[in-house]
Amino acid sequence: MIMTDGSPNYPDILGYITGDVQMTFGVVQAALAVSPSVVFTGHPFEIILLLQNLSDVHVKVVASLRLPPVDAAGKKHAISSHHHRRTVTLHPAEVGYLVMPAAISPAAAPASAYSLSMSLEVEPTAKPRRIRAVGSKDEINLDYYFYLSEQTITRLVRLKGLGFSATGSRLIGGSSIETTFSVIPGQPVPLPPSKVSWVRLWSLNTHSDTRPLLERYHTALLEQVIPHLKRDHLFPLLQRALRERFSMHYPMQAAELHFAAKLLVHVLEMAAQPPERLYYPQQSIYAVSQLLLRGWPRDGSPIVLPNWTRAALTHMGVDPLVTDNPLAALTTILFDDLLRDSILHGFRLIHAITGQQLGSDSDARAYGEQLIQLLADPTSRLSFLDCYLPLIIGGVLVAHDTTLHGESVLESLNALEYSFRTRASEQDADNTEIFDLFEKCVDEEVRRYRGWI
């Protein structure tokens, strides 16, 4: 879907949800609803502000809630909320909704025409370029433009069932959008804990190609990020990041961290220096500098990039850490995305080099997401399987591609074998296959360095 000036026109998801009910304020579209649209007295309800960024830059939106000061009988504070103001930074082309909880007093007067409003202040963080056409009637191409999870589809169905409004007024320095709802008698119920939340439905980083971000930030990526991706600089920082992330979940030893870090280094190093040979065809996506130098497709076909690169492009323009200190960014705000790439790369390497198929790419991605979720939970515990498959085994397979200055790879492999032997008590029926796979991979690498093959 391309606009007449050649720039991409991304899907009007807000219009799809609301049936084209929306207000446009600068580069942001908005619609407002109450859930449920008919509220019982004494019950909680939610105020839903749906937002859609029309541009390729981050946009700051300050939403301020205005509730009716009195009910239909003139009583004050009959409708209340603990939350009245929230700031959201929309990512490029992002669509999502802000949820603000509220409640109706048991003594509130029933009526069919209560109204509430949100005042909006919209401020782009850079000079925006529109990548959605206002009022476009183009159909949403779900297959080409984005992937929607089952959870997101469920949310879309729920949102489509709400009665969104887009009436309001223009104010100095902002805009106001209003909606109406009904209140009917009901039995009081205990109120759940109040919680404001922002729910992302769609964004360039997670659901589409990154053409607009590449066009805006490709020079910064090529000149300010990729030149820093040097092996001996990356390795100690990534090894430390792995130690910090894994230490509370599993007691990884130094040799194990050493090889897991090698796999992450391998992924990043390919961005600066394309590999001389590919272990599998899809490995070419990691050669980011090659793509930037030769140029990307201009015909609307998808642009495939590593997760860490997509995340870096999304953060550019809003977080200077990415360009000012790329190595720090890779060990913090970009680290989860680097793990996603490394886990998928590790599984693909195992299949390509050993011939052992441990699942599909979808399985590998799901495995990676589960591991990242476990790492985010301080109460979770990891196992031998979580750490060795595929991070440590993948690091073994690329050991000869990521030799450090002054390193004896044979000595590193011997140290890893010693660490592995201390894990013998952890072997069980569920991980025996991975124990055997590790030994096979290490044996092959040791023979390589001893000149046996």
* Structure-block tokens of residue 310: 């997509």
pLDDT of residue 183: 95
Q: Average pLDDT of each block of 10 consecutive residues along the chain (453 residues)? A: 49 88 92 93 94 92 95 92 92 92 93 93 90 59 53 87 84 75 87 80 70 89 97 97 96 97 98 91 95 82 87 87 97 96 97 94 92 93 96 96 94 96 95 96 87 54
User: Please, what sign has the CA dihedral across residues 409, 411, 415, 420?
Assistant: positive
**End-to-end Cα distance, the chain:** 53
Which pLDDT belongs to residue 453? Answer: 45
Distance CA 6, CA 188 (A): 56
Tell me the β-bridge partners of 198. 98
Domain ranges in the chain? Answer: 13-207, 211-449
Q: For 335, which DSSP code?
A: H
Residue 81 in contact with residue 103, Cβ under 8 Å?
A: yes
Distance in angstroms (rounded) separating the CA atoms of residues 312 and 443:
37
Q: Alpha-carbon dihedral of residues 374, 314, 215, 2, nearest 10 degrees?
A: 80
CATH of domain 13-207: 2.60.40.10
